[in-house]
A = this chain, B = another copy of it.
Amino acid sequence: MPSPWLRIRDEFPILHQEVNGHPLVYLDNAATTQKPRAVMAALDRFYERDNANVHRGLHALSMRATDAYEGARSRVATFVNAEAPEEIVFTRGTTESINLVASSWGGANLRKGDVILLTEMEHHSNLVPWQLVAQRTGATLRYLPVTGDDGLLDLSQLDRVLTPEVRVFAFTHVSNTLGTINPVADLCARARRVGAVTVIDAAQSIGHMPVDVRAIGCDFLAFSGHKMASVTGIGALYGRKALLDAMPPWQGGGGMISNVDFFESRWKPTPERFEAGTPNFGDAVALGAACDFLDTLGREEIRRHDGALARLAYERLSALPGIRVLGPKGERGGLVSFAFESLHAHDVVTFADEDGIALRGGHHCNQPLMRRLGLTSTARASFYVYNEEREVDALVASLRRTLKFFGLQG
């Protein structure tokens, strides 16, 4: 059988277009990835054959739809190596997953005197929900620092900040600005020693490398489908069953209740308790198909592929004049951020777009980290399974032209 990598770009129709007269070079994968034919076909097929509301339905289509939805749950459970499908709650994505944990677990377990430990490299989605629950409960926030431009967590500070008052330690697996891959299993082990619950933001790792919740030893793990070759609108929260079972509901409505009276109600067990209303079963099917797609490519292979492109980009970019390239020099996730001394990220991105190259420029929902690094914004190139070395070449050539246009050849 030929390697699924061989004609991989054929799987992504969107790549075969010109932007501003140049072949599209899509390097904004950390924001969202493109979708393979297989995922869109699964979605279309579901709606063409099996669509009906799930659960409680006794007719053929409803039973098929329920099987498809619960099948997707099982598929996602094996994808992250959960112990049981019930440990997977479907959500809109990483942000909703973290809000669910912060509101439900946090609301029920945090109080004045408790500490929520985060890191300085957290995305707003793993930061603002904790600020909101801190305000509500009286718990306080504390941060594990980042070392600087090489963008590692300052582990020498861990003992100082990870004290027994820490009830929850939430951190990202891979930084969406620095590209740093954090030692998540170690961090979870350390947190366990002080009895803190661990929440991992896997938005930037889930589609790019093996993610095994049991090997990592985390309590919760949040991710988005749209960053792993699936569509927008679907993601998941993994939670250890014992913890989920003890949590109060978050949203109320159909599907999550076991009994409703006019004045009070009883809840279903997990995961239904946390899935009020008609779930997004259509997109859940697409998420299951994305798991299949990624496993066919092999997640170790994806890690190697994306990481190699990012390291190549890191090297080649570092040779440009007046540039500051962020994050670790060696092993890194599939992205690289950079800033020029005399050229703003927005101008960089606009000129790259002129050459058909899609970059992201801004604070990447990392405002506190940016300030910490003395920056207001960076440009970011992020890679996925369909990117190629020649696209790194195209990026570097385009940046050189832009520098020249602004008289900054160095």
Task: Please list the residues of chain A having a beta carbon within 8 angstroms of any beta carbon in chain B.
Answer: 13-14, 17, 19-20, 24, 26, 28, 31-32, 34-35, 40, 43-44, 47-53, 56-62, 92-96, 98-99, 102, 120, 123-125, 127-129, 131-132, 141, 143, 224, 226, 231-234, 249, 251-257, 259-265, 276-283, 346, 349-350, 352-353, 356-362, 365, 367-368, 371
**Contact A40–B44 (Cβ < 8 Å):** yes
Tell me the bound Cα distance from A24 to B49 in angstroms.
11
**Contact A360–B57 (Cβ < 8 Å):** yes
Tell me the bound Cα distance from A353 to B283 in angstroms.
26
Tell me the bound Cα distance from A99 to B275 in angstroms.
12
Tell me the bound Cα distance from A128 to B248 in angstroms.
13
What is the distance, in angstroms, from A311's C-beta to the closest C-beta of chain B?
23
Q: Which residues of the other chain, B, contact A94 by a CB distance below 8 angstroms?
A: 277
Q: Closest residue of chain B to A276, judged by CB?
A: B95
Q: Which residues of the other chain, B, contact A265 by a CB distance below 8 angstroms?
A: 124, 128, 131
**Contact B57–A233 (Cβ < 8 Å):** no
What is the distance, in angstroms, from A123's C-beta to the closest C-beta of chain B?
6
Find A350's partner among B58, B226, B359, B367 (CB 8 Å cutoff): B58
**Contact B280–A232 (Cβ < 8 Å):** yes
Sample 8 A-B pairs with CB under 8 A, ordered by A number. Answer: A56-B362, A95-B276, A127-B252, A132-B249, A232-B278, A233-B233, A262-B368, A283-B283
**Contact B358–A52 (Cβ < 8 Å):** yes
Q: Which residues of the other chain, B, contact A61 by a CB distance below 8 angstroms?
A: 14, 19, 24, 26, 28, 358
**Contact B96–A251 (Cβ < 8 Å):** yes
Find A262's partner among B56, B132, B143, B346 (CB 8 Å cutoff): B143
**Contact B226–A125 (Cβ < 8 Å):** no
Q: Closest residue of chain B to A345, judged by CB?
A: B58
Known: A92-B280, A95-B254, A251-B99. Is A31-B58 also a contact (CB below 8 A)? no
Tell me the bound Cα distance from A253 to B222 in angstroms.
13
Q: Which residues of the other chain, B, contact A365 by a CB distance below 8 angstroms?
A: 253-255
**Contact B14–A125 (Cβ < 8 Å):** no
Known: A19-B60, A61-B19, A277-B92. Is A51-B14 also a contact (CB below 8 A)? yes
Tell me the bound Cα distance from A251 to B232 in angstroms.
18
Q: Which residues of the other chain, B, contact A249 by a CB distance below 8 angstroms?
A: 132
**Contact A277–B233 (Cβ < 8 Å):** no
**Contact B125–A254 (Cβ < 8 Å):** yes
Q: Closest residue of chain B to A349, judged by CB?
A: B58
**Contact A260–B368 (Cβ < 8 Å):** yes
Q: Closest residue of chain B to A26, judged by CB?
A: B61
Tell me the bound Cα distance from A346 to B143 in angstroms.
55
**Contact B57–A31 (Cβ < 8 Å):** yes
Q: Which residues of the other chain, B, contact A264 by a CB distance below 8 angstroms?
A: 131
**Contact A278–B226 (Cβ < 8 Å):** yes
**Contact A141–B263 (Cβ < 8 Å):** yes
What is the distance, in angstroms, from A281's C-beta to the closest C-beta of chain B?
6
User: With contacts A34-B51, A59-B359, A99-B276 known, what are 18 further pairs, Cβ within 8 A?
Assistant: A19-B61, A28-B52, A40-B44, A53-B226, A53-B360, A56-B362, A58-B353, A59-B357, A60-B358, A95-B276, A96-B276, A98-B253, A99-B253, A123-B253, A128-B256, A132-B249, A257-B367, A260-B367
What is the distance, in angstroms, from A172's C-beta to the closest C-beta of chain B?
13
Q: Which residues of the other chain, B, contact A261 by a CB distance below 8 angstroms?
A: 367-368, 371
**Contact A129–B251 (Cβ < 8 Å):** yes
Tell me the bound Cα distance from A15 to B47 in angstroms.
11
Q: Can you list the 9 inter-chain pairs with the closest CB atoms, starting with the nearest?
A: A95-B277, A128-B252, A233-B280, A125-B253, A31-B53, A95-B253, A233-B233, A254-B365, A59-B358
